[in-house]
Structure 1
Amino acid sequence: MAGRWEKRWSHRAPFYFKPSGYGSTSSNVVFDAEGRYICGHVHADIGALFAAAPTMYATLHQIAETMSDDDPRKDLINRALARADEIDGVATLPPPRRD
């Protein structure tokens, strides 16, 4: 499952966080890579984490690929990625393609 995200998101960040906001209507805004508004009025730490999550996911996947199978850190990374792939036991869908 991680491969779908790794290939999709590892080349550029899909989201950006701006604490300055979106015009005068909101602050702490998350935008997509094309500058479209995703959400606003989020706490600064949550907004930054939200924006970084897909890139962190891809990076963890790439790190795990470089580790040997007997490295205990690889198991931890794979467990974290598996949790990210499921919500209440249902596999999450990847974001829509932006072709």
Structure 2
Amino acid sequence: FRKDDFQNTTNDGNAQCITIAVDNENNVTEFLAQIDLTRLLVDKIQELADETKNINIKMLEQMADHSININKLLENRKRVIILYCFLRTFTTT
């Protein structure tokens, strides 16, 4: 909407109310078109927010999987070192 086309009824700093001349069909049609556009934009924002959440979840899952793999690798290396030390004690005596 062009603010100049409508009369501002209140302005409390938080919200601005706009009076629409309902006897003028063009104003009502434009108002309803703006509502439809706003709904489409809200839906698109919601879709992008959901997509962002899903990407974030996948990234966190990959990081968790990577962390688990590192822990398994460290555990396996620890076992190898223990086994090596154990075998070394028998071969040196």
Is TM (by shorter chain) over 0.5?
no
Q: Which has the higher strand share?
A: 1
Structure having the higher Rg = 2
Considering Cα pairs closer than 8 Å and 6+ residues apart, tell me whether 1 or 2 has the greater RCO: 1
Task: Give the structure-1-normalised TM-score.
Answer: 0.25
Q: Which has the higher helix share?
A: 2
